Structure 1
Amino acid sequence: MLAPAAVQAIDEAAHDAEPISLAEVNERSALLARFDRSYLVPTETFAHVVGRLTAPQRRGGPLRALAIDGRRAFRYHSVYYDTPDLRSFHDHRQGRRLRFKIRERVYQDTGERQYEIKLKGRRGDTVKHRQPLTGTDTPLAPAQQAFLAATLNRAYAIAAPATLHPSLSTDYLRATFVGDGERITCDAGLVCVDLRTQQAVHCDTDLVLVETKSTGHLTDADRVLHAHGVQPAVFTKYCGAFAALHPSLPANRWRRAARRAFGTGTG
């Protein structure tokens, strides 16, 4: 059976590009504090954009594809944690400066697990704090709760939520392209599940979710996307999924992009 168009597109693009190792990615473009921009890109347009960015003759050198043990596309599984009233979702909706997202990320091809806390920095950038998870550790274990409390106190001088529950899971395939100080992640086959109701939404099989990440503002990848008629989308996997899953939620800022990404049905 043929893979969905977007999955096939990111896998082919990654294998057509020159490789870069994880160690070199961390050295050249770790970007734990960065500006992110999201795009919903049709597969045909994606192929043209990545072709330009990875071309050997590109000024400044081609972007290279992350490669680990021969793989160029990697399976990601994330579980987000939120309060019973979805504080993280609503803080983002209301544009609160002191906001955070909490998740466990699993790199399924290697088994590596990370506990991640994403904060909003003073410049409007995203600042990620992470801690490895081993054995039976979960984000709700005492050590991870202490890490969350210390992180929020140090960054925002606020207390950690008293109660957290698993709220949403995401699964997708990702290819990553890297240059000096910039990175683009390309996701396909996204499935999001509300862990409270078990409702799910599936991303359009002809769309690649592209995020540009840099320490500054517009990157060459952003400019190439704009030149191909693709503008940034008001979209995050977490908030977009809830907007699609629960039409009664006040989520107007994400509704348009969520409708494009997921359509209107749930399953």
Structure 2
Amino acid sequence: MNLHTEPLAFAPRRAVSRADEACPARPDQLFRAIGLERLNATASMLVRRDNKYVVREECLAPAWTELAERFDMLEIDGTRDFTYDTCYFDDPAHTSYFDHHRGRRQRCKIRMRRYVDARLCFAEIKLKGKRGQTEKRRVACPLEQYGRLDEGSEAQIRAAYRELYGRAFEQVLEPVVWMRYRRTTLVAREGGERMTIDRGLVFMDASGTCRIDDDLVIVETKSGNANGIADKILRALHQHPTNGASKYCVSLAALGRVGKYNKLLPALRKLDALPVRAAWPA
């Protein structure tokens, strides 16, 4: 992990590592392509259960062939590796962060995501629902609105919160942290399951930038029961879900924005992202 105190930037430079020299590029050619329309029809996964794994990408090499037999890879205009920009919103007390850290059953994260390649932008709320399910609601926004919640999108986010939890959402939101990464998406041919691989993660706030080594990836499985095909394949490789691998929570801890992050230590250590600057005063 590298922590820089430069202004916000969205173009991380990638250094060649020994892992790059030893491991071939991802075998994208093994996977059949799936388009966005079919993905949304068969595996939109707006209600799902998630598992997150922090692994070195080379550790996935033994699984590529089996994954390619069971999954297709999202392709849009010949591209299979997509850049995502995400801005997370919270209140000054970081209520969303601490709700996650404390393991509250009813909790949410609010973000705005910009799909750079597709030139799309959405305001989103992710709500933790019954039986540990994650429910995602989103509102389309103009590209130029990225990083700003307007009155209409915020109203829909608050309505979704009230609908699921039966109470008002009281937080006064402000943008807290920005991030960029590249994502590859696999879609189970049987439907109802997705697996994403995020690499090249860069976390940013007004005071600095934290860059995660490019060979460290966050794998997320999304299924109905948190024990899908991808989970079983990863388990056969002796890979297990990593506690505290929420990108939002990890980014706040890595950037020194919070002083309490003990439940995130497994993810922070695997990402080599333990904070090196003191937390901001409360």
Give the structure-2-normalised TM-score.
Answer: 0.84
Instruction: Show the counterpart of 2:6.
Output: none
Instruction: Show the counterpart of 1:150.
Output: 159
Distance 1:91 1:73, change over 3 A: same
| Contact kept in structure 2, 1:244 and 1:255, CA below 8 Å | no
Instruction: Show the counterpart of 1:176.
Output: 185
- 1:65 pairs, out of 58, 61, 73, with 73
Structure 1 counterpart of 2:99, one-letter code:
D
**Where in structure 1 are there 5+ consecutive unaligned residues?**
56-61
Shift of 1:244: 2.2
Tell me, what secondary structure is at the counterpart of 2:125? Answer: strand
**Where in structure 2 are there 5+ consecutive unaligned residues?**
1-13, 278-282
How many residues in Structure 1 have an aligned counterpart in Structure 2?
258
Is 1:134 matched with 2:142? yes
Shift of 1:205: 2.2
Percent of aligned pairs with the same amino acid: 34
Q: CA RMSD in A?
A: 2.4
Q: Deviations over 1:4-33 (max 9, x none)?
A: 768xx8973334311011111111111100
Instruction: Show the counterpart of 1:189.
Output: 200
Is 1:35 matched with 2:49? yes
Structure 1 counterpart of 2:53, one-letter code:
Y
In the aligned structure 1, how far is the partner of 2:64 from the partner of 2:211? 24
Shift of 1:137: 4.0
Is 1:122 matched with 2:130? yes
Instruction: Show the counterpart of 2:10.
Output: none
Distance 1:247 1:80, change over 3 A: closer
Shift of 1:42: 1.5
Instruction: Show the counterpart of 2:210.
Output: 201
Is 1:83 matched with 2:94? no
Shift of 1:144: 1.3
| Contact kept in structure 2, 1:199 and 1:266, CA below 8 Å | no
In the aligned structure 2, how far is the partner of 1:151 from the partner of 1:68? 30
| Contact kept in structure 2, 1:117 and 1:130, CA below 8 Å | yes
Instruction: Show the counterpart of 2:233.
Output: 224
In the aligned structure 2, how far is the partner of 1:10 from the partner of 1:119? 38
Tell me, what secondary structure is at the counterpart of 2:104? Answer: coil
Q: Deviations over 1:76-130 (max 9, x none)?
A: 0000000011010011111112211100000001210011000001111100000
Shift of 1:156: 1.1
